[in-house]
């Protein structure tokens, strides 16, 4: 890695436009590396990040934030003092206890509910933040906040920033891959875009079902493809002489070259059939539930991608009806949260275990997060009751990459209704993860619209208490 970073550090001194104008084939690879912002600002603890995105908002009080008073007060009105503009609430709503039991897990004694039996077994590996605070209790805005650092979006995604800052350790693969499970979260593809960053840093989508990437199987021979790339390079060279923004041409060439090389690499990385049966079984790839099989396949691919040098990988959740955010249980909480847990949590726990067994967890951050939590109260207690949108306090976790294992950071009140200790925002999490990857979040900037813009905007702090 040091050799690669040293190489990238020398590239900005080269006049990239001149090189591209004077050369045809092969320069896309150099342009791709030259687009990386530079060397890490500090020694990196982690090289890669896998984001397990739990779209819709898993309930914090049913997963990692144990609140026994909810059961003893179940059915009692929450009252005016518990009403918040940051959640769907009113004084006549009633407290609702968790349908799952909580236990202290592992040697650390971390509270994890029975909803997550597999994650409970890796409790000593995870760092739970129970004091997340959001901005708006809306899926689209909260998704964009998590992914771009802005509720309105219109900015590069987290993965695009990491790709821009560090590039990929494998020139045959992109720096940022989204393993999609046939569902685009609210907020749309902007969650995974590069916005004003060069287009080579936007996510490459890899689907769970069928052919993982469109047009990945070449229809022409390699020789004919090479001639086409030569022609495109010549056309770009001509166009760049007339363009005022050479970076756009460079990004286009980088994309062509990377796509060309991906035709060889992607089918190999995406094929999990050569994985040992014990590994596929550990992830749940042998499940009778097709949703779980597909999610397990994507989790295995995530590990294979980081092994191959991809910097940022995100796994999305499947939507069971294709219309609603997977974890968005306004009703039927018990049935549907159990369904989502059955599909995802075994694979997430297996991913952490697998990385640990391979000696990769120290250099790979696994982040588990939804865009919000769920209300600890409901309109009325019934067998079909659910929980609504809640950003006053919710939970996420990180594992590996130098984060402390077996710990819980921050607190909500006795009912899980609001943060009362050590509140954190998405900006703090972004800043801390970037720090672990060797990036000072205040220095990772891009000049656009007359100002230097960064992922964390003017916010965010590195939370040292989360770091081992």
Residue 265 banded pLDDT, cuts 50, 70, 90: confident
Question: Which residue has better confidence, 147 or 253?
Answer: 147
Q: Coil, strand or helix: which one is 422?
A: coil
Only one residue has tokens 């726990």, namely 349
Q: Does 220 score more than 90 pLDDT?
A: no
Does some domain include residue 234? no
89: left (phi over 0), alpha (psi -120 to 50) or beta: beta
Does some domain include residue 442? yes
C-alpha distance from residue 377 to each of 21, 142, 175, 258, 389 (Å): 63, 20, 42, 50, 10
Q: Does 237 score more than 80 pLDDT?
A: no
Mean of pLDDT values over 106-131 = 98
Q: How far is CA 94 from the centre of its chain?
A: 34
Does some domain include residue 125? yes
Q: Does 109 score more than 50 pLDDT?
A: yes
Question: Which residue has better confidence, 21 or 114?
Answer: 114
Buried b (16+ CB within 10 A) or exposed e, 226-235: eeebeebbee
Does some domain include residue 231? no
How many angstroms separate the CA atoms of 84 and 80, rounded? Answer: 9
User: Mean pLDDT for the chain?
Assistant: 89
- Taking a C-beta distance cutoff of 8 angstroms, is the pair 342, 295 a contact? no
CATH number, domain containing residue 322: 3.40.720
- Taking a C-beta distance cutoff of 8 angstroms, is the pair 149, 155 a contact? yes
How many angstroms separate the CA atoms of 378 and 332, rounded? Answer: 12
When divided into structural domains, the chain yields a total of: 1
Residue 77's domain comprises: 46-209+261-466
How many angstroms separate the CA atoms of 151 and 146, rounded? Answer: 8
How many angstroms separate the CA atoms of 14 and 35, rounded? Answer: 12
* Backbone torsions φ then ψ of 428, nearest 5 degrees: -65, -40
Position 259 scores a pLDDT of: 72
Mean of pLDDT values over 154-178 = 94
Q: Does 35 score more than 90 pLDDT?
A: no
Does some domain include residue 41? no
Spatial CB neighbours of 46, under 8 Å, sequence gap ≥ 6:
362, 363, 364, 365, 400, 401, 402, 433, 436, 437
Residue 252 banded pLDDT, cuts 50, 70, 90: low
pTM of the predicted protein model: 0.87
- Taking a C-beta distance cutoff of 8 angstroms, is the pair 59, 373 a contact? yes
Does some domain include residue 242? no
Q: Does 160 score more than 90 pLDDT?
A: yes
In terms of Cα–Cα distance, which of 372, 409, 410 is closest to 394?
372
Q: Does 38 score more than 70 pLDDT?
A: no
Buried b (16+ CB within 10 A) or exposed e, 159-181: bbbbbbbbbbbbbbbbbbbbbbb
Tens of pLDDT, residue by residue over 304-335, are: 999 999 999 999 999 988 888 999 999 999 99
Does some domain include residue 409? yes
For 29, counting Cβ atoms within 10 Å of its Cβ (0-12 exposed, 13-18 middle, 19+ buried), the class is: middle
């Amino acid at each position: 890695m040091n050799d690669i970073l040293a190489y990238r550090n020398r590239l900005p001194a080269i006049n990239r436009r001149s090189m591209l104008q004077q050369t045809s084939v092969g320069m896309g690879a150099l342009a791709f590396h030259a687009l990386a912002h530079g060397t890490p600002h500090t020694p990196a603890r982690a090289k890669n990040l896998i984001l397990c995105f739990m779209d819709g908002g898993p309930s914090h009080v049913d997963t990692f934030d144990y609140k026994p008073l909810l059961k003893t007060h179940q059915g009692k009105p929450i009252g005016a003092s518990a009403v918040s503009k940051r959640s769907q609430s009113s004084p006549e709503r009633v407290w609702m206890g968790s349908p799952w039991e909580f236990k202290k897990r592992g040697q650390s004694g971390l509270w994890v509910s029975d909803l997550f039996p597999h994650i409970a077994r890796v409790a000593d590996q995870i760092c739970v933040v129970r004091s997340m605070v959001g901005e708006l209790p809306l899926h689209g805005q909260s998704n964009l906040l998590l992914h771009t650092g802005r509720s309105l979006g219109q900015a590069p995604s987290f993965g695009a920033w990491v790709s821009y800052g560090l590039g990929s350790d494998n020139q045959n693969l992109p720096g940022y891959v989204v393993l999609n499970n046939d569902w685009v979260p609210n907020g749309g593809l902007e969650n995974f875009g590069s916005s004003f960053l060069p287009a080579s840093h936007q996510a490459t989508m890899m689907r769970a079902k069928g052919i993982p990437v469109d047009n990945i199987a070449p229809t022409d021979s390699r020789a004919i493809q090479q001639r086409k790339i030569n022609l495109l390079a010549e056309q770009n060279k001509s166009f760049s002489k007339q363009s005022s923004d050479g970076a756009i041409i460079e990004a286009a060439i980088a994309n062509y070259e990377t796509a060309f090389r991906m035709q060889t690499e992607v089918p190999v990385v995406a094929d999990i059939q050569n994985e040992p049966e014990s590994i596929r079984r550990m992830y749940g790839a042998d499940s009778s539930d097709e949703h779980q099989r597909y999610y397990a396949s994507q989790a295995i691919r995530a590990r294979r991608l980081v092994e191959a040098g991809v910097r940022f990988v995100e796994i999305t959740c499947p939507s069971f009806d294709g219309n609603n955010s997977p974890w968005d249980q306004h009703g039927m909480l018990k049935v549907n949260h159990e369904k989502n847990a059955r599909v995802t949590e075994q694979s997430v726990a297996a991913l952490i275990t697998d990385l640990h067994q391979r000696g990769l967890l120290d250099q790979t951050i696994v982040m588990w997060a939804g865009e919000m939590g769920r209300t600890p109260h409901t309109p009325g207690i019934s067998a079909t009751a659910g929980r609504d949108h809640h950003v006053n306090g919710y939970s996420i976790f990180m594992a590996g990459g130098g984060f402390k294992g077996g710990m819980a950071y921050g607190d909500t009140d006795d009912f899980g209704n609001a943060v009362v200790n050590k509140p954190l925002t998405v900006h703090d999490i972004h800043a801390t993860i970037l720090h672990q990857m060797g990036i000072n979040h205040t220095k990772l900037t891009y000049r656009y619209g007359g100002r230097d813009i960064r992922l964390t905007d003017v916010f965010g702090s590195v939370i040292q208490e989360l770091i081992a």
